[in-house]
Each structure stands twice: as structure tokens, then as C-alpha cells.
């Protein structure tokens, strides 16, 4: 609870304490003349840093707007998200205080970008900067109203083109029968929640990352572990195989993305050749190589995506458009494609041009966080999975959503999606431990896959389309066929 009046703090200390099955975090702000503190009860025992948490205070109404204004990506609506400033499982909420780069006053800082250059301003200087260049009679409120009006007109124009639903077009298409897909392999080796996995293009090897801080390279045929790398922090939230199969990239709560060259020599450890490539101002949520080993695309809890040169570690392009944590990204499947799609906690799915850094299309149809986005095999469409318990399908040529995959019986959020090689099937992993298989054209569920004992965090089809791999919080990976 807040005590006294909230004023500019100069020091921050985060200390976790146990309280039943939950984790109590007390953030203490000590000043020269008084002590102020507030408490955040965070259900982190069974949830990642991305879990929703509520601010508990007897007098939050007075102070919460100021706290939101000062701490971007921490207090949003009724939830609190990690800034990634503290790299342990128990303490992950932190506020950045320091001298403002504009007025030099010590205050809570907002990290913003101007032409890809990060700056740290206090909320007053940000507001002042936003008002510069306004014409006579203009205000931020009037510009927001104008923006809302233009957005409404765009939606109306989109709806005029919405003349038919995908399911109606596909009425004459033959209905698919129920699939017979079973677990063929169970990969055990992680000691905590498996958060991500990716296939190598040789159709045999895989890489997985876990909350235990380890990245493991597997032989999916023999179940052997070919490489195991330990990272300095837990919650390794992202991993990716290089197109050549000679390297893997990974990162998480340390805000970094590292590349590990892989060698066939059993006596040579990949850790010794680790190369730091990317550095964000918040946790790394996803990463993928482009069509070569020389460029890496990352997304982060700081709300941005970035394109990096692997050899030099130089930032080639940054992408700013999300207003909250960016949770997922996917590169267009075409070898000459220069676009990718991203999804985040602002409920938006954005399509980007990698050459210009511009947001060329945006879709805001979900009612909650978008956990995963995945391109259709042709590259003309993509699917998204959300905490609102739906998966949605978007046609980029029609510039609109064309299908929603949901059932009343499905009340848990969808965490991950992937398409079959033909694009007819959509595999979706859910928080109720199941994988649902949807008919993309008709919109109906044709099968449910059971086996995992906790949340399904990732599903990925093998490059040849003959097998599906799923990663779960039950510490295992399963291969289905």
C-alpha cells in the first residue's frame, strides 16, 4: 500500500517474500526524509514473467495514473508486466529512475525512440515534446479524436469489401475426416518449463529452450542430446536454428540474443564460441534468422522488433509500432520476402517492411494479448493465437480477417499456432494442455491431441511436413505423426 505522498524516488530495492502459494514483491523507495513503498502480489509460482498481476493498494486510484505514466510496460490497464530489469525468477518488476536527458531532473524515466535512437525522458518532457509543432487550435486531445475518426472510417471501408466469409466460399470443398495423430517420441532432458523450440532444415535436428536456463540441440530420430548450453539467466524464452544448421540463436530475460556456432567435434563446446548479437531494453520474446545465417530478427518486451547483423552485432533496422510488449514474430516464407508479422500485448498484429522499417498493415481484432503469429505457407495470409481463446486468420490481399477458429467449450487461451505444409490444417496449442487441429477453410475443429500435462508453449511442423513437435511447461517435447 502507498504511504504518504508519491514523490520523486531516488533509490529502488526489490525484495521477494513468500506468502502461501503466491510471491509477494515489495518495492521500497527510500528518500532522504521519508520511506515510501507499495506492494505487488504476483502469481509467479506457476506463471512466467508475462503473467498478469494486479496492483493491490487501498489508495491506488489516486496514484495509479501517475505510476502508469512513469513506468511504461509495467502497469497497463489492470495488469503489471515485467521490465526485465532484474534477472531472477523471484524479482522481475523494476522501475527505471535517473536523470532525464532533457531537464536533468531525477525522476521515473520513459524509454522512447526517435528515429531509432533511444532516449530516456521524464513524463513531463515527453508531454512537452509531443506538444511541439502543434498548429493553432490543436491539442493532443483533438489529434487523438481525429485519429479515432480516421480509424473508424478505415474500418468502414474495410467492411464494404467484406462481401463473403471464407467458410461460405469453402462450402463445396470436401470435408476432412478426423485425423489419427499419435505421440511417437517424448524428449526428456529439461528440468523446467520448455518455452520454445525450432526445427533445423535438415528435418532431423531440433533446438529447445527452457526456464531451467538451458538450450538443448536434439536428434529427433534417436532422441540423443547433441549439444547442451547453459545461459547465465533462467527463462530462455526464444530459440531458433540457423538456415545452414550450423548455429542456433537464443535469449530471454537477460535482454540479449546470443548465437552459438555448432560443431561436430564432441570435445568442442559451443559456449566457448558464443557471440552476443542483439541487445534490447527489455526481455527477448522471439528470434528468427532471415534467409541467411548473417541476419537475425528479434522481438522484445520493450515493444520493438529489430534486425541485426550477426557478424558485427550491429543494428540494421528497428521497428516501432507496438504500444506494449511484442510477444511473437514470423518471417514471410518467400526466399525473396522482405516482410514479417509481429503480435503483442496491445492486441495488434503488425506487418512490417524490413527494408524501410515501416508498418505496412495492422490488424486489431483480438480481445486480448496475441501470443503467436504464423504465416500461411504461400505468404499471402497469416494466423494468430490469443489469450482470448481464439485463433484468427487474416488475408493480406483483402487486408482483413477472414476466419475465426473458436468453440464455446474452449475457454483457455491459445498460446501457439502453425500450419500444415498444404495450409489446409491449423495446429493450435492451448493453455488447457491440448492441441486442437482446425480446418482452415471450413473453420471447424477436426481433431484434438492429448498428451501434455501442462500448458503447450510451442507447436512447430517439421520442414518436410511429416511430423509435428510440441513443447510444454510439463518439461517435455513430443513428436506427433
- At 132 the pLDDT is 72
- Which of 341, 349, 423 is CA-nearest to residue 386? 349
Query: In this structure, how many other beta carbons lie within 10 angstroms of the beta carbon of residue 401?
Result: 19
- At 265 the pLDDT is 74
Q: Are 80 and 73 in contact (CB under 8 A)?
A: no
Please tell me the pTM assigned to this model.
0.73
Q: Are 458 and 188 in contact (CB under 8 A)?
A: no
- At 88 the pLDDT is 34
- At 113 the pLDDT is 67
Dihedral over Cα of 441, 443, 447, 450: its sign: positive
Sheet holding 183-188, edge to edge: 183-188, 476-480, 468-472, 456-461
Question: Can you point out the beta strands (E) in 20-77?
Answer: 22-30, 35-42, 54-56, 75-76
H-type alpha helices, 230-294: none
Residue with cell 537464443: 250
- At 322 the pLDDT is 94
- At 115 the pLDDT is 61
Per-residue pLDDT of the chain (481 residues), as tens digits, is 333 333 333 333 343 433 444 333 333 333 333 333 333 333 333 343 333 333 333 323 333 333 333 333 333 333 333 333 333 333 333 446 788 888 888 888 877 766 667 788 888 887 777 777 667 777 778 888 888 899 888 888 877 777 777 878 888 888 898 888 999 999 999 999 999 999 999 999 999 999 999 999 999 999 999 999 999 888 999 999 999 999 999 999 999 999 999 987 767 778 888 999 999 999 999 999 998 999 999 999 999 999 999 999 999 999 999 999 999 999 999 876 799 999 999 999 999 999 999 999 999 999 999 999 999 999 999 999 999 999 999 999 988 899 999 999 999 999 999 999 999 999 999 999 999 999 999 999 999 999 999 999 999 999 999 999 999 999 999 999 9
The C-alpha atoms of residue 393 and residue 376 are separated, in whole angstroms, by 9
- DSSP assignment letter at 321: -
Which grid cell is 205? Answer: 535436428
Compute the C-alpha angle 404/407/411, nearest 5°.
110
Distance from the first to the final alpha carbon of the chain: 53
- At 336 the pLDDT is 64
- At 142 the pLDDT is 84
Amino acid at each position: 500500500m502507498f504511504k504518504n505522498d508519491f514523490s520523486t524516488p531516488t533509490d529502488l530495492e526489490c525484495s521477494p517474500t513468500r506468502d502461501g502459494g503466491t510471491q509477494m514483491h515489495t518495492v521500497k523507495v527510500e528518500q532522504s526524509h521519508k520511506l515510501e513503498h507499495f506492494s505487488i502480489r504476483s502469481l509467479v509460482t506457476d506463471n512466467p514473467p508475462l503473467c498478469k498481476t494486479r496492483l493491490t493498494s487501498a489508495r491506488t486510484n489516486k496514484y495509479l495514473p501517475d505510476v502508469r505514466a512513469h513506468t511504461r510496460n509495467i502497469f497497463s490497464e489492470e495488469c503489471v508486466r515485467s521490465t526485465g530489469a532484474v534477472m531472477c525468477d523471484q524479482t522481475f518488476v523494476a522501475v527505471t529512475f535517473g536523470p532525464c536527458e532533457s531537464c536533468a531532473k531525477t525522476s521515473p524515466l520513459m524509454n522512447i525512440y526517435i528515429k531509432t535512437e533511444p532516449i530516456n525522458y521524464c513524463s513531463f518532457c515527453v508531454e512537452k515534446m509531443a506538444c511541439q509543432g502543434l498548429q493553432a487550435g490543436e491539442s493532443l486531445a483533438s489529434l487523438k479524436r481525429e485519429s479515432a475518426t480516421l480509424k473508424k472510417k478505415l474500418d468502414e471501408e474495410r467492411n464494404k469489401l467484406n462481401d463473403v466469409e471464407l467458410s461460405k466460399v469453402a462450402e463445396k470443398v470436401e470435408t476432412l475426416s478426423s485425423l489419427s495423430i499419435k505421440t511417437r517420441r517424448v524428449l526428456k532432458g529439461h528440468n523446467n518449463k520448455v518455452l520454445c523450440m525450432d526445427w533445423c532444415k535438415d528435418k532431423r535436428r531440433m533446438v529447445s529452450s527452457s526456464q531451467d536456463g538451458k538450450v538443448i540441440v536434439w536428434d529427433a530420430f534417436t532422441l540423443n542430446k547433441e549439444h547442451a548450453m547453459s545461459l547465465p539467466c533462467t527463462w530462455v524464452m526464444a530459440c531458433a536454428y540457423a538456415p545452414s544448421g550450423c548455429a542456433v540463436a537464443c535469449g530471454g530475460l537477460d535482454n540479449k540474443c546470443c548465437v552459438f556456432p555448432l560443431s561436430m567435434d564432441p570435445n568442442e563446446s559451443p559456449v566457448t564460441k558464443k557471440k552476443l548479437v542483439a541487445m534490447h531494453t527489455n526481455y527477448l520474446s522471439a528470434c528468427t534468422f532471415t534467409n541467411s545465417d548473417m541476419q537475425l530478427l528479434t522481438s522484445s518486451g520493450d515493444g520493438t522488433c529489430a534486425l541485426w547483423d550477426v557478424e558485427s552485432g550491429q543494428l540494421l533496422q528497428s521497428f516501432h509500432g507496438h504500444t506494449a510488449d511484442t510477444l511473437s514474430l514470423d518471417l514471410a516464407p518467400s526466399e525473396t520476402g522482405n516482410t514479417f508479422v509481429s503480435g503483442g500485448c496491445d492486441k495488434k498484429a503488425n506487418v512490417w517492411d524490413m527494408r524501410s522499417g515501416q508498418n505496412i498493415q495492422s490488424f486489431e481484432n483480438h480481445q486480448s494479448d496475441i501470443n503467436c503469429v504464423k504465416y500461411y505457407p504461400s505468404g499471402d495470409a497469416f494466423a494468430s493465437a490469443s489469450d482470448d481463446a481464439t485463433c484468427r486468420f487474416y488475408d493480406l490481399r483483402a487486408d482483413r480477417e477472414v476466419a475465426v477458429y473458436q468453440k464455446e467449450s474452449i475457454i483457455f487461451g491459445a498460446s501457439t499456432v502453425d500450419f500444415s505444409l498444404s495450409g489446409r490444417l491449423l495446429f493450435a496449442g492451448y493453455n488447457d494442455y491440448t492441441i486442437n487441429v482446425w480446418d482452415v477453410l471450413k473453420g471447424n475443429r477436426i481433431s484434438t491431441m492429448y498428451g501434455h500435462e501442462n500448458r503447450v508453449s510451442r507447436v512447430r511442423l517439421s520442414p518436410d511436413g511429416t511430423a509435428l513437435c510440441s513443447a510444454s511447461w510439463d518439461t517435455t517435447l513430443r513428436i506427433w505423426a
